[in-house]
Structures are given as structure tokens and as C-alpha cells.
Amino acid sequence: MADQTDLSMPALQVDLLTPVDLQRLEPTQRAGHPPRILLLYGSLRDRSYSRFLTLEAERILRRLGAETRVFDPHDLPVADSVPVTHPKVAELRELSQWSEGQVWCSPERHGAITGVFKNQIDWLPLQEGSLRPTQGRTLAVMQVSGGSQSFNAVNTLRLLGRWMRMVTIPNQSSVPKAYEQFDEAGRMKPSANYDRVVDVMEELVRFTWLVRDRADYLVDRYSERKAAFKLPEQL
């Protein structure tokens, strides 16, 4: 049986491997500004419960000391239907690049997230030149449902977060019968569901403080170093 610990395989470029760099894990200089959190929601309705929940989360984040931005998906074209220079597309990409963490909130429709929400993610590339609009950022996921509690939307959001190479926190919020959870002004009523939202935002802020100064190190990959590596020209 072959030795599974043998690092002499021809396909492995040992020089491109990097051991754990404790100095980079514990940066000597830390960003002094508040955590920057971008919030996205997935409905265009006038009385949108995903927007209400997102705005409630924003209030909590600000109370926890974060700097926040909420993207309005109105007038965002369908992905790939216009150039990336379109004002709404450029706004979304700039906000994602600005962020150090994100909150994604979608209604559950037909057992999945809405097209409105997916369209926003479809406009965000994994990488564009030297910019990485999502990689290494923290992520909290939430959903609202019209009926009993479900987790289909948050599960899909987690899948998207993994695909976008984000650090998705363990906690999440799923709000059932959303029409009962908000008052006429769109404020969330006191409840165990509200307390869960506070838990999730608190955890997101903590993870963002821990991760943001290490993000570049955490997404540094052997495969990408190998792709960028150029052998010296033969004499």
C-alpha cells in the first residue's frame, strides 16, 4: 500500500505549499474602523417582510457598533442583460467590495429563495481582476415564510455562501408566519423570533471582528498560487 503521507508525488509542487503562518493569523495591525456589513433582501413588494427583517437586523447591527449599508434591489436588471457598468450593478459590486460581512435575507417561495435575491448574487463574481467581492467575508443568513417554519431558503443561502467562498456563521434565523411578526410600521414585534435575530447579528459581528484582518490569508489557496506560478524560461 502506498504511503499516504508521501509528499513526493509528481503532481504536487511542494515549493508552493505554505505552512501555517501564525504571524498572519495574529496580525500586528488591525483595522480600527467598525465592522462593515452589507445587507441584501429578496422582495420588491411594498410591504416586504424580508425588507422589514433586514432593516430590523440593520438596527441591531448599528446598536452593536457596526457600519451598515442596505442594497435596494429595485431596478437591478436581470443578470447579464446589461453591461457591468450599469449604475445599479456597479453600486451592488462596490458595496460588496466595501463590506467585510454580509446579511442575506430571502422569502421562501416555492420551497426556495426568490429570483429577486438570486439575481443579486448572480451579479457578484468570485473574482474580477484583483478584486474579490465576496471571498473571505463573513455571512449571516435569514428567511421569512408565509406559513409554518421552514429552512429551505436559509439552506439554499448557505449553499450560495459556500460557493461564493464566504465564512457563513453557524447561527441563522427563520421567521415563520411573517405577517404576524411585524406591526403596521414594519417593526418586528418582541418574541423569541426577534431574540434569535439579535443572536444572529451578535454572532455575525463577533465573527467579522475575528476574520476581517485575516481574510486575505484565509482565502490564499495552493491551486491559485500554482496557476499564477510561472516556470523560469529555459536557457
Query: Mean pLDDT throughout 168-191?
Result: 96
Locate the domains of the chain by residue range: 32-219
Whether the CB-CB separation of 78 and 119 falls below 8 Å is answered with: yes
Residue 109 pLDDT level (bands cut at 50, 70, 90): very high
Mean residue pLDDT across the chain = 90
CATH architecture for residues 32-219: 3-Layer(aba) Sandwich (3.40)
Per-residue confidence (pLDDT) for residue 235, from 0 to 100: 47
Mean pLDDT of 209-221: 87
Which segment of 4-8, 86-90, 186-190 scores lowest on mean pLDDT?
4-8
- Per-residue pLDDT, 28: 66
Q: Cell 431558503 appears where?
A: 153
pLDDT score at 100: 97
- pLDDT at residue 88 greater than cutoff 50: yes
Compute and round to an integer the Cα radius of gyration of the chain.
20
Q: Which residues contact 110 (CB under 8 A, 6 or more apart)?
A: none
DSSP annotation of 17: -
pLDDT at 87: 97
CA distances from 50 to 72, 79, 143 (A): 12, 21, 7
Least confident of 65-69, 128-132, 136-140, 146-150: 128-132
pLDDT of residue 7: 56
pLDDT at 186: 95
- Give CA–CA dist 193/191, Å, rounded: 5
On whether the pTM is more than 0.75, the answer is: yes
